[in-house]
Amino acid sequence: MTRAFIALGANLGDARAVVLQAMEGLDGLAGSRVTARSSLYRSAPVDATGPDFINAVVALDTMLAPEALLAELQRLERAAGRERPYRNAPRTLDLDLLSHGEAALRTDHLTLPHPRMHERAFVLQPLAEIAPALVTAAQLDAVAGQTIERL
């Protein structure tokens, strides 16, 4: 088993319900189980427009390889009605693979660890809640100006 961390976000429709449902969907992936779930957070869009997001992070122990896990995340996004009309468009569900064990990977489809995770309060705060050793005080200070609220 490999420990992966996944960021969840949604800002269309019943975003809270969609994020909670996605957590259940992640727990139901073959050879995988959710081992920790952060609280839900509300955050303003970053580099985008639209309503506020509902965000969370989960820890997932999985037997899936990184590319296979990414494919499952994209399947769950599509099942939730995710469309990609343009970059950073509002979305019914966004699942970002933040890390997959110690994997360092760069392909056309996947970069691990996630290249922008340390720039985003909506990732760092929930991640710090469930895996405090992975987030430094300096990283949290660097995103302190971003609007985020624990629900």
Closest CA to 9 of 59, 43, 48, 34: 43
Instruction: State the residue for tokens 């965000």.
Output: 55
Q: Which of 27, 52, 61, 96 is catalytic?
A: 96
Cβ proximity of 5 and 58 under 8 Å? yes
What is d(CA 108, CA 115) in angstroms, rounded to the nearest whole number?
A: 13
Angle at 33 between CA 60 and CA 38, to 5 degrees: 50
Q: Which of 37, 42, 91, 120 is catalytic?
A: 91
94 is catalytic: yes
Peptide bond into 113 cis (omega under 30): yes
Q: Which of 94, 106, 116, 141 is catalytic?
A: 94
Q: Write down the number of H helices and E strands in the chain.
A: 4, 8
Q: Which of 52, 82, 87, 141 is catalytic?
A: 82
91 is catalytic: yes
Would you name the residues annotated as active-site residues?
82, 91, 94, 96
